[in-house]
Structure 1
Amino acid sequence: MILASEIEREPEGALTTHAAPVVFIVDDDVSVRESLQALVHYAGLTAETYASARDFLRRPRAIVPNCLVLDVRLPDIDGLELQSHIASQRKEMPIIFITGYGDVPMTVQAMKAGAVEFLTKPFDDEILLGAIRSAIERSRAALSEAARMKVLEGRYASLSRREREVMALVVSGLLNKQWALSWVSAKSR
Protein backbone atom coordinates (compact mmCIF):
# COMPACT_ATOMS: atom_id res chain seq x y z
CA MET A 1 0.00 0.00 0.00
CA ILE A 2 1.32 3.46 -0.91
CA LEU A 3 1.13 5.96 1.91
CA ALA A 4 0.45 9.61 1.17
CA SER A 5 3.51 10.54 3.23
CA GLU A 6 5.66 8.45 0.88
CA ILE A 7 4.34 10.26 -2.16
CA GLU A 8 4.84 13.73 -0.72
CA ARG A 9 8.49 13.34 0.16
CA GLU A 10 11.17 13.38 -2.46
CA PRO A 11 12.26 9.87 -3.44
CA GLU A 12 15.66 8.64 -2.35
CA GLY A 13 18.36 9.21 -4.93
CA ALA A 14 16.46 12.10 -6.52
CA LEU A 15 18.92 14.78 -5.55
CA THR A 16 18.28 16.73 -8.73
CA THR A 17 15.92 19.24 -7.11
CA HIS A 18 18.60 20.11 -4.53
CA ALA A 19 21.42 20.38 -7.07
CA ALA A 20 22.81 23.78 -7.99
CA PRO A 21 20.54 25.41 -10.59
CA VAL A 22 21.82 26.34 -14.03
CA VAL A 23 20.79 29.33 -16.13
CA PHE A 24 21.26 28.68 -19.84
CA ILE A 25 21.75 31.76 -22.00
CA VAL A 26 21.30 31.60 -25.77
CA ASP A 27 22.08 34.84 -27.63
CA ASP A 28 24.09 35.42 -30.78
CA ASP A 29 25.56 38.69 -29.44
CA VAL A 30 28.75 37.89 -27.52
CA SER A 31 28.55 41.09 -25.44
CA VAL A 32 25.01 40.24 -24.33
CA ARG A 33 26.04 36.67 -23.45
CA GLU A 34 29.01 37.87 -21.42
CA SER A 35 27.07 40.56 -19.55
CA LEU A 36 24.20 38.17 -18.76
CA GLN A 37 26.66 35.53 -17.60
CA ALA A 38 28.33 38.06 -15.30
CA LEU A 39 24.94 39.16 -13.93
CA VAL A 40 23.88 35.58 -13.25
CA HIS A 41 27.22 34.79 -11.57
CA TYR A 42 26.93 37.97 -9.49
CA ALA A 43 23.52 36.68 -8.30
CA GLY A 44 25.23 33.47 -7.12
CA LEU A 45 23.98 31.20 -9.89
CA THR A 46 25.73 29.11 -12.51
CA ALA A 47 25.38 30.18 -16.14
CA GLU A 48 26.17 28.45 -19.41
CA THR A 49 26.18 30.45 -22.62
CA TYR A 50 25.53 29.47 -26.23
CA ALA A 51 25.76 31.50 -29.44
CA SER A 52 23.05 29.55 -31.26
CA ALA A 53 20.08 27.28 -30.70
CA ARG A 54 21.94 24.41 -32.37
CA ASP A 55 24.88 24.79 -29.96
CA PHE A 56 22.45 24.69 -27.05
CA LEU A 57 20.60 21.64 -28.39
CA ARG A 58 23.89 19.71 -28.59
CA ARG A 59 24.21 19.96 -24.82
CA PRO A 60 22.83 16.94 -22.94
CA ARG A 61 19.63 17.58 -21.03
CA ALA A 62 20.20 19.02 -17.56
CA ILE A 63 18.24 17.24 -14.85
CA VAL A 64 18.75 20.01 -12.31
CA PRO A 65 16.63 23.10 -11.64
CA ASN A 66 17.24 25.35 -14.62
CA CYS A 67 15.87 27.97 -16.95
CA LEU A 68 16.65 29.33 -20.38
CA VAL A 69 17.24 33.00 -21.14
CA LEU A 70 16.63 33.07 -24.85
CA ASP A 71 16.97 35.71 -27.55
CA VAL A 72 14.08 35.66 -30.02
CA ARG A 73 16.20 36.32 -33.09
CA LEU A 74 18.99 33.83 -33.63
CA PRO A 75 20.97 32.97 -36.77
CA ASP A 76 19.95 29.32 -37.13
CA ILE A 77 16.74 28.37 -35.30
CA ASP A 78 14.81 31.34 -33.96
CA GLY A 79 13.84 31.51 -30.31
CA LEU A 80 10.17 30.77 -30.88
CA GLU A 81 11.03 27.58 -32.79
CA LEU A 82 13.41 26.54 -30.03
CA GLN A 83 10.68 27.22 -27.47
CA SER A 84 8.35 24.88 -29.35
CA HIS A 85 10.99 22.13 -29.33
CA ILE A 86 11.74 22.61 -25.63
CA ALA A 87 8.06 22.60 -24.68
CA SER A 88 7.73 19.08 -26.05
CA GLN A 89 11.10 17.72 -24.87
CA ARG A 90 12.09 19.57 -21.69
CA LYS A 91 8.99 20.47 -19.74
CA GLU A 92 11.05 21.28 -16.65
CA MET A 93 12.83 24.16 -18.46
CA PRO A 94 11.04 27.52 -18.17
CA ILE A 95 11.96 30.13 -20.78
CA ILE A 96 12.57 33.84 -20.39
CA PHE A 97 12.70 35.67 -23.71
CA ILE A 98 14.86 38.71 -24.34
CA THR A 99 14.85 40.71 -27.54
CA GLY A 100 15.74 44.04 -29.03
CA TYR A 101 13.10 43.70 -31.73
CA GLY A 102 9.93 42.51 -30.00
CA ASP A 103 6.41 43.24 -31.09
CA VAL A 104 3.00 42.44 -29.63
CA PRO A 105 2.21 39.37 -31.80
CA MET A 106 5.63 37.88 -31.03
CA THR A 107 5.16 38.50 -27.30
CA VAL A 108 1.67 36.98 -27.33
CA GLN A 109 2.93 33.90 -29.20
CA ALA A 110 5.77 33.38 -26.72
CA MET A 111 3.57 33.85 -23.67
CA LYS A 112 0.80 31.59 -24.99
CA ALA A 113 3.42 28.91 -25.55
CA GLY A 114 4.44 29.13 -21.89
CA ALA A 115 7.22 31.72 -21.62
CA VAL A 116 7.76 32.94 -18.07
CA GLU A 117 8.69 36.45 -19.17
CA PHE A 118 9.28 38.47 -22.33
CA LEU A 119 11.75 41.33 -21.86
CA THR A 120 12.77 43.99 -24.35
CA LYS A 121 16.43 45.08 -24.41
CA PRO A 122 17.56 47.07 -22.55
CA PHE A 123 15.86 45.65 -19.46
CA ASP A 124 16.30 46.15 -15.74
CA ASP A 125 18.71 43.61 -14.21
CA GLU A 126 16.52 43.09 -11.14
CA ILE A 127 13.48 42.28 -13.28
CA LEU A 128 15.51 39.66 -15.15
CA LEU A 129 16.94 38.20 -11.94
CA GLY A 130 13.45 38.02 -10.43
CA ALA A 131 12.21 36.18 -13.52
CA ILE A 132 15.19 33.81 -13.34
CA ARG A 133 14.54 33.01 -9.66
CA SER A 134 10.86 32.40 -10.37
CA ALA A 135 11.69 30.19 -13.35
CA ILE A 136 14.17 28.13 -11.33
CA GLU A 137 11.52 27.54 -8.65
CA ARG A 138 9.11 26.38 -11.37
CA SER A 139 11.77 24.05 -12.69
CA ARG A 140 12.48 22.70 -9.21
CA ALA A 141 8.77 21.99 -8.68
CA ALA A 142 8.45 20.29 -12.09
CA LEU A 143 11.48 18.08 -11.43
CA SER A 144 10.16 17.15 -7.99
CA GLU A 145 6.76 16.24 -9.44
CA ALA A 146 8.40 14.18 -12.20
CA ALA A 147 10.44 12.29 -9.59
CA ARG A 148 7.29 11.57 -7.54
CA MET A 149 5.48 10.36 -10.67
CA LYS A 150 8.38 8.07 -11.55
CA VAL A 151 8.17 6.47 -8.10
CA LEU A 152 4.41 6.00 -8.45
CA GLU A 153 4.78 4.54 -11.96
CA GLY A 154 7.37 2.09 -10.64
CA ARG A 155 5.12 1.05 -7.81
CA TYR A 156 2.16 0.65 -10.16
CA ALA A 157 4.26 -1.45 -12.53
CA SER A 158 5.15 -3.75 -9.62
CA LEU A 159 1.47 -4.57 -8.97
CA SER A 160 -0.01 -7.80 -10.27
CA ARG A 161 -2.91 -7.68 -12.74
CA ARG A 162 -5.32 -8.52 -9.92
CA GLU A 163 -3.90 -5.80 -7.66
CA ARG A 164 -4.30 -3.27 -10.49
CA GLU A 165 -7.95 -4.26 -10.95
CA VAL A 166 -8.64 -3.82 -7.24
CA MET A 167 -6.76 -0.54 -7.18
CA ALA A 168 -8.86 0.81 -10.07
CA LEU A 169 -12.00 0.04 -8.08
CA VAL A 170 -10.62 1.58 -4.89
CA VAL A 171 -9.55 4.83 -6.55
CA SER A 172 -12.91 5.15 -8.32
CA GLY A 173 -14.32 6.33 -4.99
CA LEU A 174 -16.38 3.29 -4.07
CA LEU A 175 -16.66 2.14 -0.47
CA ASN A 176 -14.76 -1.04 0.41
CA LYS A 177 -17.97 -3.09 0.43
CA GLN A 178 -19.03 -1.67 -2.95
CA TRP A 179 -15.78 -2.33 -4.77
CA ALA A 180 -15.47 -5.78 -3.21
CA LEU A 181 -18.95 -6.70 -4.48
CA SER A 182 -18.19 -5.17 -7.87
CA TRP A 183 -14.92 -7.06 -8.16
CA VAL A 184 -16.42 -10.39 -7.03
CA SER A 185 -19.36 -10.09 -9.46
CA ALA A 186 -17.00 -9.23 -12.32
CA LYS A 187 -14.88 -12.32 -11.55
CA SER A 188 -17.91 -14.61 -11.49
CA ARG A 189 -19.01 -13.68 -15.04
Structure 2
Amino acid sequence: MSDPAPTVYLVDDDVSVLRGLGRLLAAAGMKVAAFDSPREFLGRLDPAAPGCLILDVAMPGLNGLELQQALAARGSALPVVFLTGRGDIPMSVQAMKRGAADFLTKPVDDEMLLATIRNALEKNRASRGAREELAQVEKRLAKLTAREREVLERVVTGRLNKQIAAELGTVEKTIKVHRAHVMQKMGVRTLADLVRLAGRAGIRTGRG
Protein backbone atom coordinates (compact mmCIF):
# COMPACT_ATOMS: atom_id res chain seq x y z
CA MET A 1 0.00 0.00 0.00
CA SER A 2 1.51 3.32 -1.12
CA ASP A 3 1.68 6.43 1.04
CA PRO A 4 -1.01 9.08 0.50
CA ALA A 5 -0.11 12.04 -1.70
CA PRO A 6 1.56 14.84 0.28
CA THR A 7 -0.52 17.89 1.08
CA VAL A 8 0.68 21.48 0.92
CA TYR A 9 -1.04 23.21 3.84
CA LEU A 10 -1.61 26.95 3.43
CA VAL A 11 -2.25 29.06 6.52
CA ASP A 12 -2.88 32.78 5.99
CA ASP A 13 -5.56 35.11 7.31
CA ASP A 14 -5.77 36.78 3.87
CA VAL A 15 -8.29 34.77 1.87
CA SER A 16 -7.17 36.34 -1.42
CA VAL A 17 -3.63 35.07 -0.78
CA LEU A 18 -4.97 31.60 -0.06
CA ARG A 19 -6.92 31.59 -3.33
CA GLY A 20 -3.96 32.78 -5.37
CA LEU A 21 -1.56 30.28 -3.86
CA GLY A 22 -4.13 27.52 -4.13
CA ARG A 23 -4.54 28.11 -7.88
CA LEU A 24 -0.77 28.21 -8.41
CA LEU A 25 -0.10 25.00 -6.51
CA ALA A 26 -3.08 23.16 -8.01
CA ALA A 27 -1.84 24.10 -11.49
CA ALA A 28 1.51 22.57 -10.52
CA GLY A 29 -0.24 19.31 -9.64
CA MET A 30 -0.02 19.69 -5.87
CA LYS A 31 -2.68 18.69 -3.35
CA VAL A 32 -3.66 21.76 -1.32
CA ALA A 33 -5.51 22.39 1.95
CA ALA A 34 -6.07 26.05 2.86
CA PHE A 35 -6.89 27.57 6.25
CA ASP A 36 -7.47 31.21 7.19
CA SER A 37 -7.21 30.35 10.90
CA PRO A 38 -4.10 28.86 12.57
CA ARG A 39 -6.22 27.28 15.30
CA GLU A 40 -8.51 25.62 12.76
CA PHE A 41 -5.43 24.21 11.04
CA LEU A 42 -4.11 22.81 14.32
CA GLY A 43 -7.48 21.27 15.11
CA ARG A 44 -7.78 19.51 11.77
CA LEU A 45 -4.17 18.52 11.10
CA ASP A 46 -3.37 14.82 10.97
CA PRO A 47 0.15 14.64 12.51
CA ALA A 48 0.92 11.52 10.48
CA ALA A 49 -0.02 13.03 7.11
CA PRO A 50 2.83 13.81 4.67
CA GLY A 51 3.32 17.30 3.30
CA CYS A 52 4.61 20.76 4.20
CA LEU A 53 3.23 24.01 5.57
CA ILE A 54 3.25 27.45 3.90
CA LEU A 55 2.69 29.91 6.69
CA ASP A 56 2.16 33.64 7.12
CA VAL A 57 3.81 35.28 10.12
CA ALA A 58 1.46 38.06 11.23
CA MET A 59 -1.98 36.60 11.97
CA PRO A 60 -4.54 37.38 14.68
CA GLY A 61 -4.91 35.02 17.63
CA LEU A 62 -1.87 32.89 16.91
CA ASN A 63 1.01 34.20 14.82
CA GLY A 64 3.14 32.10 12.51
CA LEU A 65 6.07 31.73 14.88
CA GLU A 66 3.72 30.61 17.67
CA LEU A 67 2.10 28.09 15.33
CA GLN A 68 5.53 26.79 14.37
CA GLN A 69 6.32 26.35 18.06
CA ALA A 70 3.00 24.57 18.68
CA LEU A 71 3.73 22.13 15.87
CA ALA A 72 7.19 21.41 17.27
CA ALA A 73 5.66 20.72 20.70
CA ARG A 74 3.41 18.12 19.07
CA GLY A 75 6.37 16.45 17.43
CA SER A 76 5.23 17.42 13.94
CA ALA A 77 7.65 16.60 11.11
CA LEU A 78 6.00 19.01 8.67
CA PRO A 79 8.61 21.35 7.13
CA VAL A 80 7.53 24.98 7.51
CA VAL A 81 8.04 27.60 4.80
CA PHE A 82 7.26 31.15 5.92
CA LEU A 83 5.84 33.41 3.22
CA THR A 84 5.12 36.92 4.40
CA GLY A 85 5.18 40.54 3.38
CA ARG A 86 5.95 41.63 6.91
CA GLY A 87 9.14 39.68 7.46
CA ASP A 88 12.38 41.16 8.66
CA ILE A 89 15.85 39.73 9.24
CA PRO A 90 15.52 39.07 13.01
CA MET A 91 12.19 37.32 12.47
CA SER A 92 13.57 35.13 9.69
CA VAL A 93 16.59 34.22 11.80
CA GLN A 94 14.28 33.24 14.67
CA ALA A 95 12.16 31.11 12.33
CA MET A 96 15.16 29.34 10.84
CA LYS A 97 16.63 28.65 14.28
CA ARG A 98 13.37 26.93 15.17
CA GLY A 99 13.74 24.65 12.18
CA ALA A 100 11.89 26.42 9.36
CA ALA A 101 12.67 25.01 5.92
CA ASP A 102 12.76 28.50 4.41
CA PHE A 103 11.60 32.08 4.88
CA LEU A 104 10.39 33.98 1.81
CA THR A 105 9.11 37.54 1.58
CA LYS A 106 6.35 38.67 -0.77
CA PRO A 107 6.34 39.22 -3.66
CA VAL A 108 8.12 35.97 -4.50
CA ASP A 109 8.74 34.51 -7.94
CA ASP A 110 6.33 31.64 -8.66
CA GLU A 111 9.07 29.28 -9.80
CA MET A 112 11.16 30.05 -6.71
CA LEU A 113 8.17 29.36 -4.48
CA LEU A 114 7.37 26.09 -6.26
CA ALA A 115 11.01 24.98 -6.05
CA THR A 116 11.06 25.79 -2.33
CA ILE A 117 7.87 23.81 -1.76
CA ARG A 118 9.20 20.83 -3.70
CA ASN A 119 12.36 20.90 -1.58
CA ALA A 120 10.24 20.99 1.58
CA LEU A 121 8.16 18.04 0.39
CA GLU A 122 11.31 16.06 -0.37
CA LYS A 123 12.65 16.91 3.08
CA ASN A 124 9.43 15.58 4.61
CA ARG A 125 9.58 12.41 2.52
CA ALA A 126 13.14 11.73 3.67
CA SER A 127 12.28 12.50 7.29
CA ARG A 128 9.28 10.18 7.23
CA GLY A 129 11.40 7.44 5.68
CA ALA A 130 14.00 7.79 8.42
CA ARG A 131 11.32 7.68 11.14
CA GLU A 132 9.74 4.58 9.64
CA GLU A 133 13.11 2.86 9.42
CA LEU A 134 13.87 3.68 13.05
CA ALA A 135 10.48 2.30 14.12
CA GLN A 136 11.23 -0.94 12.30
CA VAL A 137 14.69 -1.20 13.87
CA GLU A 138 13.28 -0.66 17.37
CA LYS A 139 10.59 -3.26 16.70
CA ARG A 140 13.26 -5.80 15.76
CA LEU A 141 15.42 -4.90 18.76
CA ALA A 142 12.46 -5.56 21.04
CA LYS A 143 12.43 -9.18 19.85
CA LEU A 144 15.94 -9.83 21.17
CA THR A 145 16.49 -11.56 24.50
CA ALA A 146 18.60 -9.78 27.10
CA ARG A 147 21.59 -11.98 26.26
CA GLU A 148 21.14 -11.45 22.52
CA ARG A 149 21.10 -7.70 23.13
CA GLU A 150 24.39 -8.00 25.04
CA VAL A 151 25.90 -9.95 22.17
CA LEU A 152 24.66 -7.43 19.60
CA GLU A 153 26.11 -4.50 21.51
CA ARG A 154 29.51 -6.20 21.52
CA VAL A 155 29.42 -7.52 17.97
CA VAL A 156 28.83 -4.06 16.49
CA THR A 157 31.89 -2.69 18.29
CA GLY A 158 34.06 -5.15 16.38
CA ARG A 159 34.70 -7.68 19.13
CA LEU A 160 35.43 -11.27 18.11
CA ASN A 161 33.23 -14.14 19.26
CA LYS A 162 35.90 -15.41 21.63
CA GLN A 163 36.29 -11.95 23.18
CA ILE A 164 32.54 -11.68 23.71
CA ALA A 165 32.46 -15.17 25.21
CA ALA A 166 35.16 -14.21 27.70
CA GLU A 167 33.33 -11.01 28.68
CA LEU A 168 30.01 -12.79 29.16
CA GLY A 169 31.45 -15.83 30.89
CA THR A 170 30.43 -18.40 28.31
CA VAL A 171 31.93 -20.34 25.40
CA GLU A 172 32.49 -19.22 21.83
CA LYS A 173 30.04 -21.78 20.44
CA THR A 174 27.22 -20.26 22.49
CA ILE A 175 28.08 -16.78 21.24
CA LYS A 176 27.91 -18.03 17.65
CA VAL A 177 24.40 -19.31 18.30
CA HIS A 178 23.32 -16.01 19.88
CA ARG A 179 24.91 -14.09 17.02
CA ALA A 180 23.00 -16.14 14.45
CA HIS A 181 19.76 -15.43 16.30
CA VAL A 182 20.57 -11.72 16.40
CA MET A 183 21.18 -11.61 12.64
CA GLN A 184 17.94 -13.47 11.99
CA LYS A 185 15.77 -11.34 14.28
CA MET A 186 17.30 -8.11 12.97
CA GLY A 187 16.65 -9.22 9.40
CA VAL A 188 20.24 -8.78 8.16
CA ARG A 189 22.81 -11.02 6.52
CA THR A 190 25.99 -9.03 6.95
CA LEU A 191 27.81 -7.44 9.85
CA ALA A 192 27.86 -4.13 7.98
CA ASP A 193 24.06 -4.09 7.83
CA LEU A 194 23.83 -4.96 11.52
CA VAL A 195 26.20 -2.12 12.39
CA ARG A 196 24.14 0.31 10.31
CA LEU A 197 20.88 -0.64 12.02
CA ALA A 198 22.46 -0.50 15.46
CA GLY A 199 23.84 2.95 14.74
CA ARG A 200 20.43 4.06 13.53
CA ALA A 201 19.01 3.06 16.92
CA GLY A 202 21.70 4.97 18.80
CA ILE A 203 23.75 1.92 19.83
CA ARG A 204 27.46 2.66 19.99
CA THR A 205 29.33 1.04 17.13
CA GLY A 206 33.02 0.76 16.24
CA ARG A 207 35.93 0.16 18.50
CA GLY A 208 36.64 2.24 21.54
TM-score range, shorter chain: 0.7 to 0.9
Tell which has more relative contact order, 1 or 2 (C-alpha 8 A, sep 6+).
Answer: 1
Whether 2:146 is the aligned partner of 1:153: answer no
C-alpha displacement of 1:38: 0.8
C-alpha displacement of 1:32: 0.3
C-alpha displacement of 1:109: 0.4
Equivalenced residue count is 170
Residue among 131, 140, 165 paired with 2:150 = 165
Which region of structure 1 is more displaced relative to structure 2, 159-168 or 60-69? 60-69
* Cα distance in structure 2, aligned partners of 1:159 and 1:114: 36
Aligned to 2:205: none
Mapping for residues 1-189 of structure 1, pairs under 5 Å: 15-16=2-3, 19-184=4-169
Q: Which runs of 4+ in 1 moved over 6 A?
A: none
Which region of structure 1 is more displaced relative to structure 2, 139-148 or 171-180? 171-180
Task: Give the conservation status (yes or no) of the 8 Å contact 1:83–1:95.
Answer: yes
Aligned-residue identity in percent: 47
So what's the TM-score if we normalise by structure 2?
0.77
Deviations along 1:31-63, one digit per CA (max 9) or x if unpaired, are: 001111111101101000011210110114253
Structure 2 unaligned segments of length 5 or more: list them.
171-208
Aligned to 1:3: none
* Cα distance in structure 2, aligned partners of 1:172 and 1:91: 34
* Cα distance in structure 2, aligned partners of 1:134 and 1:116: 9
Structure 1 unaligned segments of length 5 or more: list them.
1-12
Secondary structure of the corresponding residue to residue 47 of structure 1: strand
So what's the TM-score if we normalise by structure 1?
0.84
Q: CA RMSD in A?
A: 1.6
Deviations along 1:122-167, one digit per CA (max 9) or x if unpaired, are: 1111111001000000000011111111111111111112211211
Secondary structure of the corresponding residue to residue 32 of structure 2: strand
